[in-house]
Amino acid sequence: MKVNPQYNTKETLLELYNKPLLELVFEAATIHRQHHNPREVQMSSLLSIKTGGCSEDCSYCPQAARYNTGVNADKLMTVDTVIEQATNAKNNGSSRLCMGAAWREVKDNRDFDNVIEMVQQVNSMGLEVCCTLGMLTDDQAKRLKNAGLYAYNHNLDSSEEYYSDVISTREYHDRLNTIENVRGAGISVCSGGIIGMGEKVDDRIGLLMSYMKMDNPPESIPINALVAVEGTPLEEQKEIESWEIIRMVATTRIAFPESIVRLSAGRTSLSIETQGLCFMAGAGSIFAGDKLLTTPNPEFNEDSQMFDILGLIPKKPFQDGCQPETHKDEIIEQKKVLAEKRKKELQEARENAIKNNFKPRVFKTVDSIKNEKQLSK
CA separation for the pair 99, 34 (Å, rounded): 31
**Contact between 194 and 225 (Cβ < 8 Å):** yes
CA separation for the pair 7, 16 (Å, rounded): 8
% pLDDT > 70, the chain: 91
pLDDT given at position 255: 97
Q: What is the mean pLDDT of residues 222-226?
A: 93
Q: Tell me the average pLDDT of the chain.
A: 89
pLDDT given at position 359: 66
The catalytically annotated residue of 96, 130, 247, 278 is 130
322 tagged catalytic: no
pLDDT tens digits for range 228-252: 888 888 888 899 999 999 999 999 9
pLDDT given at position 341: 86
The catalytically annotated residue of 96, 204, 253, 262 is 262
Of 137, 165, 153, 162, which Cα lies nearest the Cα of 59?
A: 165
Give the type of residue at 68: N
Return the C-alpha torsion angle 247, 276, 230, 162, nearest 10.
Answer: -20
The catalytically annotated residue of 98, 204, 267, 278 is 98
pLDDT given at position 348: 79
**Contact between 221 and 264 (Cβ < 8 Å):** no
130 tagged catalytic: yes
Distances (CA, A) of 24 to 123, 193, 206, 269, 297: 38, 20, 19, 22, 27
Kindly give, in sequence order, each residue whose CB lies less than 8 Å from that of residue 155, ignoring residues fewer than 6 positions away: 175, 191, 192, 193, 194, 222, 224
pLDDT tens digits for range 143-185: 999 999 999 999 999 999 999 999 999 899 999 999 999 999 9
The catalytically annotated residue of 190, 253, 267, 278 is 190
CA separation for the pair 331, 294 (Å, rounded): 32
Report H helices in 213-299: 242-255, 272-280
Q: What is the mean pLDDT of residues 254-280?
A: 92
The phi, psi pair for 287, rounded to 5°, reads -95, 125
131 tagged catalytic: no
**Contact between 152 and 187 (Cβ < 8 Å):** yes
**Contact between 179 and 189 (Cβ < 8 Å):** yes
User: Per DSSP, what are the bridge partners of residue 135?
Assistant: 105
pLDDT given at position 318: 95
pLDDT given at position 372: 61
Of 226, 227, 208, 205, which Cα lies nearest the Cα of 218?
A: 208
pLDDT over threshold 80, residue 363: no
User: Per DSSP, what are the bridge partners of residue 43?
Assistant: 286
CA separation for the pair 268, 297 (Å, rounded): 6
pLDDT tens digits for range 290-348: 544 455 555 678 888 899 999 999 999 999 999 999 999 899 988 988 888 888 888 87
pLDDT tens digits for range 56-80: 888 888 888 888 787 888 899 999 9
CA separation for the pair 288, 44 (Å, rounded): 6
Please give the model's pTM, rounded to 2 decimal places: 0.88
Domain ranges of the chain: 5-326, 331-376
278 tagged catalytic: no
Given pLDDT bands bounded at 50, 70 and 90, which one contains residue 98? very high
pLDDT given at position 364: 64
**Contact between 50 and 103 (Cβ < 8 Å):** yes
Of 178, 300, 200, 290, which Cα lies nearest the Cα of 248?
A: 200
The phi, psi pair for 240, rounded to 5°, reads -70, 155
Length of the chain: 377
What fold does the segment set 5-326 form as a domain?
TIM Barrel (3.20.20)
pLDDT tens digits for range 175-216: 999 999 999 999 999 999 999 999 999 999 999 999 999 999
Instruction: Give the rounded distance of the alpha carbon of 361 from its chain centre.
Output: 54
Pick the more confident residue, 357 or 37. Answer: 37
What is the longest distance spanned by two Cα atoms in the chain? 104
pLDDT given at position 369: 62
Kindly give, in sequence order, each residue whose CB lies less than 8 Å from that of residue 301, ignoring residues fewer than 6 positions away: none
